[in-house]
Amino acid sequence: MGNEINIGLIGLGTIGSGVVEILQTNSKLIEKRTGVKINLVGVCDKSLERAKQLKIDNIFVSDYKVLLKNKKINVIVELIGGYEPARTIIMDSIKAKKNVVTANKAVLAKCGYEIFQSAQKNKVNVLFEAAVCGCIPIIRTIEESFSSDNITSIYGILNGTTNFILTKMNEGMSYEGALKKAQELGFAERDPSFDVEGKDAAQKIFLLASLAFDAKFFEEAFTCGILDLTKKDMDYASELGYSIKLLGIAKKENDCVELRVGPCMIPSSNLFSSVNNEVNAVLLCGKQTGDIFLSGKGAGKLPTATVVVTDIIELASRSRVVQRFFQKTNLKPISETISKYYLRVGLVDEPGGLASIAKVFAEEKISISGCAQKEVNHTVVPVVFITHKATQGQIDQAVKKCNKLSCVKEKIVLIRIEDLK
């Protein structure tokens, strides 16, 4: 592409304004270090006021198609987020023979196969390092560092909001208090449901697994959020030598992939246990390379914007179009996945309750490795069960039966146990 890049920026929100600030402040440093000169030729946004605040209103346009028609512009930076009009903008940019840089994991998770195919057809690149895990170079690691290896599994703390909330709960705060704190600090949206229900992490693990396994999935990842967790669960996990993290997990097994997101208990000695607050982390397991652990800030205006600018710089040295291929891959039914489990059951404190639960486990052929009553002198007491390995199907049936027992007075909390080393 050469050492001079002319960009058209679409979206002057948090990340877009961060990109402008970095270019205004560090453009000479970038050119000195890399030999790449980045020129901001045009910007498009709903609001002219944002452009005025950034002192770039002289290159402002209200219609993104004006940028596509500008022959000087060779890179479109899409930072509006969401599905539409982001998908249309990206596809139109590709058809106009413009390279694309984006931080939009939502549109890539939903429409990535279509976007990548069009990019290869039109011989342009689509780079998106900032779409997953902020400043962790996970996309580049998968596509370049591991290009000669076979990745067998991915484990990741992929959402900074939930990791911050779980960290604060582990420090003694309630879920409600931790969420409020996250919102005050800008780590959580006013409506945090997309994060706390695990949907954001699910989009990210879907995208990572597609790239790592060259896989085309026609189903979404199984997803469970953190809404049912309480400070009690954090405390009980700690007593057992575990911490609780929301993990995105992808495992390739023969011709299918296990793909899921949910809260997991992991050993306190594991590296993931020390990843706190808004920090993200990813563990890649390769056949030849072994385990690679990456960690860093997963969100934030300037960290994410810095990665977007790095992708722009990367385009200057690209002499080839990224080749991405995807073959139809089935997801392993969640009912067939296997784990050990933690269950917290609210039982009436009367004779026969534990025996009733044990009978259900026996019927479903689930072996119990441990059981502890955590409180006394209450009408309803929490009882914690730890199982040996069982399928999700077995556990789901057991929970369904137990919830119907008269001795069970609270919704059963179920958490997988991942014995990571």
Question: Of the residues 110, 199, 204, 245, which is catalytic?
Answer: 204
> Which tokens belong to 79?
């930072």
Give the DSSP letter string of 101-125.
Answer: EE--HHHHHHHHHHHHHHHHHTT--
204 annotated active-site? yes
Backbone angles phi, psi at 227, to 5 degrees: -65, -30
The pairing of beta strand 60-61 with beta strand 151-157: unpaired
Question: In 180-255, at which residue ranges do the beta strands (DSSP E only) sit?
Answer: 215-216, 222-223, 242-253
Report d(CA 139, CA 130) in Å as an integer. 9
3-state class of 383 per DSSP? strand
Contact 107, 113 (CB under 8 A): no
Report d(CA 326, CA 213) in Å as an integer. 8
Contact 220, 260 (CB under 8 A): no
E strand or H helix at 393, and its extent?
A: helix 392-403
Backbone angles phi, psi at 404, to 5 degrees: -90, -10
CB burial of residue 97 (10 Å; 0-12, 13-18, 19+): exposed
Report d(CA 272, CA 90) in Å as an integer. 35
Question: Angle at CA 98, nearest 5°, toward 95 and 104?
Answer: 90
Peptide bond before residue 85 is cis, with ω within 30 degrees of 0? yes
3-state class of 377 per DSSP? coil
Residue appearing with tokens 């089935």? 330
Q: How many CB atoms lie within 10 A of CB 239?
A: 10
Identity of the amino acid at 295: S
Report d(CA 306, CA 257) in Å as an integer. 33
Question: Angle at CA 356, nearest 5°, toward 350 and 357?
Answer: 105
CB burial of residue 160 (10 Å; 0-12, 13-18, 19+): buried
What residues are labeled active site?
A: 204
